[in-house]
Amino acid sequence: MAEVIKSFRSHVTWANARGAWPDMIFSTRVRFARNLEGFPFPNRAEPRQLAEIRRLALAAAKDSGLFSRGHFLRTETLDQLEKRFLVERHHVSHALAASVLPSGAAISNDEDLSAMINEEDHLRLQCLNSGFAIEDAFKAALKLDEALGRQLPFAYSGKFGFLTACPTNAGTGMRVSCLAHLPALSRLGRMPAVLESLSHLSVTARGIYGEGTYVLGDFYQISNATCLGRGEEEFCENIDRVIRNLIRQEIAAREALLKGPLKLKTEDAVYRALGLLKHARRLSYEEFMQNMSLARMGAAMGWNLGVDFSTFNQVTLLMQPAHIQAAAGRALNPDERDAYRADYLRGKLA
C-alpha cells in the first residue's frame, strides 16, 4: 500500500473550518504561475530539460526552509492511487497526475504550501488556507514566491510581467480563489442568476452541476478571471468584494428557506440528509456530497446536529475515492468503496 499516502496526516489543516465565514467558504487558495528563464515552457521542453527544471525547483524548495519535514515528490515514482490521493488533496492537478514526463511537487508538512513542478508552467506555487482568508493566503504565497524567486531566475518582462505558457496567466501570474459552499442559493434555484451576475465582475465561477440537481455538493470555485494590468492587491480586493457579496446573498437565501411553508420542507430535507449519512450502509461519493451539503447547511443555520463544520469539512475530503482506499489500506472496487465509505462515515459522525 502506497507509502507516500501514509506520510500524509489524516487531519488536514486547511480543512479545519477556521478563518472567517467557515460555514460558507471552505478554503481560500492563492497561486502564482512561474517559469524559469533559459528553458522552454513544459509543453515544448524535452524530458531531460524537464528533469533539470525539477531538480532545480526541488532543491530551491528545500533550501527555502518553507518545506521542512515536507514532501518532495517525483510524479513517475507514484502509483495511480497516490496520484489520485494528491489530486483529491488539492496539491496536484489532474493534468499533472496524468503526466508521463518528469514532473513533481513539493508539499509542506502541514499542507498549506505547495509547488507543482512542470505542469502547464514550470512552477505553480500555492497557499491553501481554511475559510475566507485571502490576505493570509496571499501573504504566505508571496513569501513562497519571493523565496524561490531569489534562488531561481523567473521569466519576467516589464511589459507582460511574469511569463507563462498560456497568456491568460501572464502578468501577476496570480489566481485567488475561494471554494464557496452555497446550498441555500442552489436550493432556491438562484445560482444561474448569481453566476450570470458574476460574469460581469472579472470573476470566474466554476459551477459544474448535473442538470437540474444538487448532486455536486453545491460547491463553487470563485476566482479572478484576469491577472494582468492591475496590482496583486487589487485583484485580491476584487475577489474579496465579490465573495462578501456572495456571502450576503447566501445568508438571505438561508433566511428565505426558513420562512413560511418552506421552513418545514428545509428542516425535513436537512434531517433526512443527516439520517442518510448516519445510517446508510452503501454510499457513493456523489450521494455523500449531495446529502453532506444539505446537512452542512443545517449546521450553518445554527441547528444542533451534533456534527461541527470541521468534521463536515474533514469528511468531505476523506470520503473521496482515493482517500477511502487509503483508509482501507488496499485497492477497492466501486461497490466495496461505497460500503466502506458508509461504515467509515458512520464512525466519523458518531
Partner 1 sequence: MKLCEECHKAAAAVFLKLAVNNKVTETHLCPACAAKKGIGLGLETGAFNISDIVGNMSGYFKDFLPPERKTLRCKDCGLKYSEFKETGRLGCPECYVIFEPQLTELMARIHGAAQHAGRAYAGGAALKLSRAETSRRLEELRAALKVAVAREDFEGAARLRDAMKALEGRHG
Within positions 290 to 309, which residues make up the interface with partner 1, using CB under 8 A?
A: none
Q: Contact at 8 Å (CB) between 17 and 313?
A: yes
Burial (0-12, 13-18, 19+ Cβ within 10 Å), 310? middle
Does residue 289 interact with partner 1 by CB under 8 A?
yes
* Cell output for 64: 527555502
| Among 121-129, 262-270, 304-312, 338-346, the segment contacting partner 1 (CB under 8 A) | 121-129
Other beta carbons less than 10 A from residue 172's beta carbon: 23
Restricting to residues 17-56, name those near partner 1 by CB under 8 A.
26-27, 29, 31, 35-41, 43-44, 48-49, 52, 55-56
Q: How far is the CB of 6 from partner 1 (least distance, A)?
A: 21
Compute the half-sphere exposure of residue 331: CA atoms within 13 Å on the CB side of its CA: 7
Q: How far is the CB of 258 from partner 1 (least distance, A)?
A: 26
Q: Pick from 111, 112, 136, 232: which binds partner 1 (CB under 8 A)?
A: 232
CA 328, CA 323: separation in Å to the nearest integer?
Answer: 8
Does residue 67 interact with partner 1 by CB under 8 A?
no
Q: Pick from 47, 189, 210, 329: which binds partner 1 (CB under 8 A)?
A: 210
Q: How far is the CB of 302 from partner 1 (least distance, A)?
A: 24
Does residue 150 interact with partner 1 by CB under 8 A?
yes
Q: How far is the CB of 91 from partner 1 (least distance, A)?
A: 8
Angstrom CA distances, 269 to 124, 213, 345, stand at: 41, 14, 19
Restricting to residues 310-329, name those near partner 1 by CB under 8 A.
316-317, 320
CA 222, CA 198: separation in Å to the nearest integer?
Answer: 9
173-211 per-residue burial string, b: 16 or more CB within 10 A, e: under 16: bbbbbbbbbbbbbbbeebbeebbeebeebebbbebebee
Restricting to residues 238-257, name those near partner 1 by CB under 8 A.
none
Does residue 228 interact with partner 1 by CB under 8 A?
yes
Compute the half-sphere exposure of residue 182: CA atoms within 13 Å on the CB side of its CA: 31
Task: Tell me the per-residue interface mask from 162 to 201 with partner 1, x by CB under 8 A, - otherwise.
Answer: xxxxxxxxxxx-xx-x-x---------------x--xxx-
